[in-house]
């Protein structure tokens, strides 16, 4: 019996083409919660980014895992889980960024700052229909715990910087968008912690996603659902592949597993 559901945002809840949820999503989620299933967001975005971009307006959830699972909050905004980067490793990454002139976006619990924009930043942010973050001095960010560092690099370009942060790891959300997160964080670990708090087993869980940063979550859930618009790697990791986000894939999967009428 499914007791909890976890949903990625971009390409899963929200269309990458239209930047809004398909009309079928809100009633499907309402029906799911009405059937006693706890619903959680599991996203690479930050809590304040979700609010600023109005990504989930009109939808109700029991909690949200943000920054690829580095922090998690209940429905009232109370912190349930936090896995910031090692402070020395975050500082080492920033040293490397300043030496190489790389575009970098740092995220704490309170704010996010980007050092500068270039073509890669514009391309990656356009892909998720999001305005580039506020520009500023990244050094000021190190005064608070850092939950995520985003580098606008290709996969092979990430290797040198990752040698500077041995307890951290990276996950990709766009070919030119990589997040550096703590090694013991991530969507899977955050999901498992939330389930533990609510006394729910992983095999009583369904999870939805479309990208590399969703794979470990899909594999850990009792049922892992990949959207039809997902990456080949995400689709290969799933137990079930539904239609595209824009083709009501979320609703159709919930109906397929008889979780809604």
Instruction: Give pLDDT tens digits for 52-88.
Output: 889 999 999 999 999 999 999 999 988 888 999 999 9
| 162 — pLDDT class (breaks 50, 70, 90) | very high
| 136 — pLDDT class (breaks 50, 70, 90) | very high
Q: What percent of the chain has pLDDT over 90?
A: 83
Lookup result for tokens 């979700």 = 50
| Closest to 66 (Cα-Cα) out of 148, 144, 133 | 148
pLDDT digits (tens, 9 = 90+) for 223-256: 999 999 999 999 999 999 999 999 999 999 999 9
Q: Is the pLDDT of residue 168 over 90?
A: yes
Q: Tell me which of 29-33, 150-154, 182-186 is least confident.
A: 182-186
For residue 184, the SS3 value is coil
Query: What is the CB neighbour count within 10 angstroms for residue 246?
Result: 15
- Count of alpha carbons within 13 angstroms of residue 61, beta-carbon side: 24
Q: What percent of the chain has pLDDT over 70?
A: 100
Q: What is the mean pLDDT of residues 28-53?
A: 94
Cα–Cα dist 190/70, whole Å: 7
The pTM (predicted TM-score) of the whole model is 0.87
Q: What is the mean pLDDT of residues 10-35?
A: 95
pLDDT value at position 80?
A: 87
- Count of alpha carbons within 13 angstroms of residue 216, beta-carbon side: 17
- Tokens at 127, concatenated: 């892909």
Q: Are 150 and 177 in contact (CB under 8 A)?
A: yes
pLDDT value at position 21?
A: 95
| 19 — pLDDT class (breaks 50, 70, 90) | confident
Cα–Cα dist 167/160, whole Å: 15
Q: Are 14 and 20 in contact (CB under 8 A)?
A: yes
pLDDT value at position 160?
A: 96
Which letter, b or e, does each residue of 202-218 get, where b requires 16 or more Cβ atoms within 10 Å of its Cβ? bebbbbbbbbbbbbbbb
For residue 182, the SS3 value is strand
Query: What is the CB neighbour count within 10 angstroms for residue 107?
Result: 28
Q: In 132-217, at which residue ranges do the beta strands (DSSP E only) sit?
A: 146-151, 168-174, 177-182, 205-209
Cα–Cα dist 188/209, whole Å: 12
Q: Is the pLDDT of residue 190 over 90?
A: yes
Cα–Cα dist 120/123, whole Å: 5
Cα–Cα dist 81/37, whole Å: 21
Q: Is the pLDDT of residue 18 over 90?
A: no
- Give 22's strand partners: none
pLDDT value at position 52?
A: 86
Cα–Cα dist 42/209, whole Å: 9
More confident residue, 12 or 19: 12
Q: What is the mean pLDDT of residues 200-222?
A: 97
Q: Are 4 and 223 in contact (CB under 8 A)?
A: no
Q: What average pLDDT is seen over the chain?
A: 95
């Amino acid at each position: 019996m499914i007791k909890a559901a976890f949903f990625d945002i971009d390409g899963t809840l929200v269309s990458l083409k239209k930047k809004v949820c398909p009309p079928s999503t809100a009633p499907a989620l309402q029906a799911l919660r009405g059937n006693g299933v706890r619903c959680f967001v599991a996203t690479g975005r930050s809590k304040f980014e979700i609010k600023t971009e109005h990504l989930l307006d009109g939808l109700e959830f029991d909690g949200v895992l943000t920054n690829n699972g580095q922090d998690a909050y209940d429905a009232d905004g109370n912190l349930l889980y936090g896995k910031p980067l090692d402070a020395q490793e975050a500082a080492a990454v920033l040293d490397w960024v300043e030496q190489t002139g790389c575009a970098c976006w740092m995220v704490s619990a309170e704010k996010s700052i980007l050092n500068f924009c270039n073509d890669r930043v514009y391309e990656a942010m356009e892909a998720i229909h999001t305005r580039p973050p506020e520009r500023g001095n990244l050094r000021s960010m190190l005064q608070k715990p850092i939950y995520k560092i985003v580098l606008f690099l290709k996969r092979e370009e990430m290797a040198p910087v990752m040698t500077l942060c041995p307890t951290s790891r990276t996950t990709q959300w766009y070919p030119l968008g990589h997040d550096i997160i703590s090694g013991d964080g991530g969507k899977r670990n955050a999901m498992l912690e939330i389930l533990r708090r609510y006394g729910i087993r992983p095999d009583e869980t369904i999870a939805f996603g479309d990208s590399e940063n969703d794979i470990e979550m899909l594999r850990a859930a009792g049922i892992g659902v990949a959207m039809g618009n997902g990456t080949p790697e995400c689709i290969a990791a799933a137990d079930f592949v539904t239609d595209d986000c824009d083709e009501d894939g979320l609703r159709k999967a919930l109906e397929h597993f008889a979780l809604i009428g």
